[in-house]
Structure 1
Amino acid sequence: MNTYNSIFEFPNKKTIATIGTFDGVHLGHKRILEKIISNAKEANCESAVLTFYPHPRMVLQNGTPIKLLTTIEEKKELLKKIGIDNLIIHPFNKEFSQLNAEDFVKKVLVDELQIQKIIIGYDHRFGVNRTADIHDLIGFGEKYGFEVEQIDAQEIDEIAVSSTKIRNSLESGAITLANNYLGYNYFFSGTVVKGNQLGRTISFPTANIKLHDDHKLIPMNGVYFVKSNINEESCLGMMNIGNRPTVDGKNQTIEVNYFDLDKDLYDQEITIEIIDFIRNEQKFDSIDALKNQLEKDKIFCSTYFNNSKV
């Protein structure tokens, strides 16, 4: 997949394209993206996705909290796996948001993307203050010679419902439901940093993870069954997200105990796939009580692994 950091970097190619944030690149999105790919092959064009960074809401609603299912780097990898030919990540700023609808169509879609067909949701709005809609886009298509295909209301509603359910599921610990909607295990990436090393003293050493992106949605506090690929080796483990109440922790941390792994991971970048939720975070009466529970959690993970395909 070719990636461009501006529409003005895009070379002279005819495209079948779509526009959107595609946060999560979940199963609903995948149906639309596969439609783009098949249409492009039939028309002897290239498939293209136009998205924006930062997320438009970060610019237009400055100060409004936003948590994303995928970072821009994660989105790149997921779109690449699906088979999109070209990803254009255009910088979104207030100046760009003031582009009127026809200028956007002419200068971006027609002049730069040489669009032959756009596949877009019936509820898509664009141009300054998002005043133009699908009917305007169809009119511009007739004027500038490109086809417009609407994604029907039912499909768009399914996508919206899926995105909402994924977020709600992650925020309530319903990991398997979230993963079913995504079509893959929810994941995030970070760098292993030094913690207080308490885990080593109770035979459960942990990798403390510092996230790459503060806007990444993190599931609810609790203990999870996870896996990572470390040095080309699949490693299972359990992860705690929370404030470590047993030792009077104050700040949220993400700590992973990998089973059967005895390596120094400091400063390594690690991607963590979340397989399932184990239990809520809780405060124990003693460190020994915490250790006993961790032993039970590890047995749970081993049983889960033996009874399922992970």
Structure 2
Amino acid sequence: MIDITKNIIPIPPTATALGFFDGLHLGHMKVVEECFRHDGLSPAMFTFHSDTALPKREKIENLLTNEMKLEKLAEAGVKYIYSPDFNSVCNYTARDFIEKILVSIMNAKVVVCGFDFRLGAGGGSNADELKEMCREYGIEVVIIPPFSLDGCVVHSTAIKNLIKSGEIAKANKLLGYDFSIEGKVIEGNRIGRTIGSPTINQLFPDNIVMPRFGVYKSVTYLDGRVMPSVTNVGVKPTVGYKNSPLAETHIMDYDGDLYGRTLRVSLLDFIRPERRFESVDELKNQLDKDKITAKQ
């Protein structure tokens, strides 16, 4: 995939997906997949950098990092992407957007967007208006209707609410992939090693939705292997940790040194809420039970 955000170059005619795509969930992927159905056109995407603050968003809470978003788009087969910061285009009118981006940068012959897509300063124009205006430029617009799964319309807000309430298995089903944390392994207090459960500690990436504090069945991706693991999300109340929330993961049957490595941990299912134990021995006993649960 070629990112033309910082180095705009002429590109061949495209079928371009439009949207913020803060999660690339199953609904978003319906928009992306439509771009591959137009013979002779290169599949492309216009989006915003994931750390962009969009209007009406009090807090940035994405479902995946910008790096993970680019990785998934490349895996899907998108050929070109243009992802500026929102502030650089927020004052464009709808016509500015069509002429300066869709025509001049994306060389779009087909544009694909969701039913709720908005464009222009203040989100003043909708998908139907985009379709009408694009006719003047010889651009076809395909509007993707809502996508439902198990009676639920798949959209980012619903998925984020599931993650915040610990319903991670349901969230993953709507995402179409497992919600993941990716970050550098940092130094911890090494208490886990003294009780037979060595762990890796990772700070949560900026601007990622925070799951419900608690213990999760997880898998850790390590050197091409998918390792069963148990992850505690929270503030480790038993040992008096007082900093930002962490993901603390015990990788089953592994005892290597991973400090400084960047690893991805995927949450699969919620086991129990985070709680404070009266002693380290009580914590050890519960961790042993958590590991048994995670293996089931």
TM-score normalised by L of structure 2: 0.92
Task: Please give the alpha-carbon distance, in whole angstroms, between the structure 1 residues aligned to 2:63 and 2:10.
Answer: 30
- Matched letter for residue 291 of structure 2: K
| Equivalent residue number for residue 236 of structure 2 | 244
Pick one of 58, 83, 104 that aligns with 1:89: 83
Pick one of 53, 77, 80 that aligns with 2:74: 80
- Matched letter for residue 11 of structure 1: P
Percent identical among aligned pairs is 34
Q: Is the 8 A contact 1:30 1:82 kept in 2?
A: no
Number of aligned residues: 294
- Matched letter for residue 43 of structure 2: S
Question: How far 1:116 sits from its partner (Å)?
Answer: 0.7
| Equivalent residue number for residue 308 of structure 1 | none
2:12 pairs with 1:13: yes
Larger proportion of helix: 1
Which shifted more, 285-294 or 77-86?
Answer: 77-86
Question: How far 1:296 sits from its partner (Å)?
Answer: 0.9
Secondary structure, counterpart of 1:97 in structure 2: coil
Secondary structure, counterpart of 2:196 in structure 1: coil
Task: Please give the alpha-carbon distance, in whole angstroms, between the structure 1 residues aligned to 2:231 and 2:189.
Answer: 16
Structure 1: runs of 5+ lacking an equivalent: 305-310
Q: Is the 8 A contact 2:147 2:154 kept in 1?
A: no
- Matched letter for residue 263 of structure 1: G
Q: Is the 8 A contact 1:228 1:270 kept in 2?
A: yes
Task: Please give the alpha-carbon distance, in whole angstroms, between the structure 2 residues aligned to 1:111 and 1:34.
Answer: 23
Structure 2: runs of 5+ lacking an equivalent: none
Task: Please give the alpha-carbon distance, in whole angstroms, between the structure 1 residues aligned to 2:202 and 2:278.
Answer: 26
From the superposition, tell whether residues 278 and 122 of structure 1 become closer, same or farther in structure 2 (CA, over 3 Å): closer
| Equivalent residue number for residue 129 of structure 2 | 136
Deviations 1:239-295 (A, max 9, x none): 111122222332322211111112110100000011211111111121111111111
- Matched letter for residue 13 of structure 1: P
Deviations 1:190-226 (A, max 9, x none): 1011111111111111111123x31011211001111
| Equivalent residue number for residue 181 of structure 2 | 188
Task: Please give the alpha-carbon distance, in whole angstroms, between the structure 1 residues aligned to 2:54 and 2:170.
Answer: 31
Which shifted more, 118-127 or 213-222?
Answer: 118-127
| Equivalent residue number for residue 29 of structure 1 | 28
2:227 pairs with 1:235: yes
From the superposition, tell whether residues 137 and 61 of structure 1 become closer, same or farther in structure 2 (CA, over 3 Å): closer
Task: Please give the alpha-carbon distance, in whole angstroms, between the structure 2 residues aligned to 1:139 and 1:233.
Answer: 50
Secondary structure, counterpart of 1:120 in structure 2: strand
Task: Please give the alpha-carbon distance, in whole angstroms, between the structure 2 residues aligned to 1:264 and 1:200.
Answer: 11
**Residue pairs, 1:139-288, within 5 angstroms:** 139-152=132-145, 154-155=146-147, 161-211=154-204, 213-251=205-243, 252-288=245-281
Task: Please give the alpha-carbon distance, in whole angstroms, between the structure 2 residues aligned to 1:271 and 1:73.
Answer: 12
| Equivalent residue number for residue 41 of structure 2 | 45
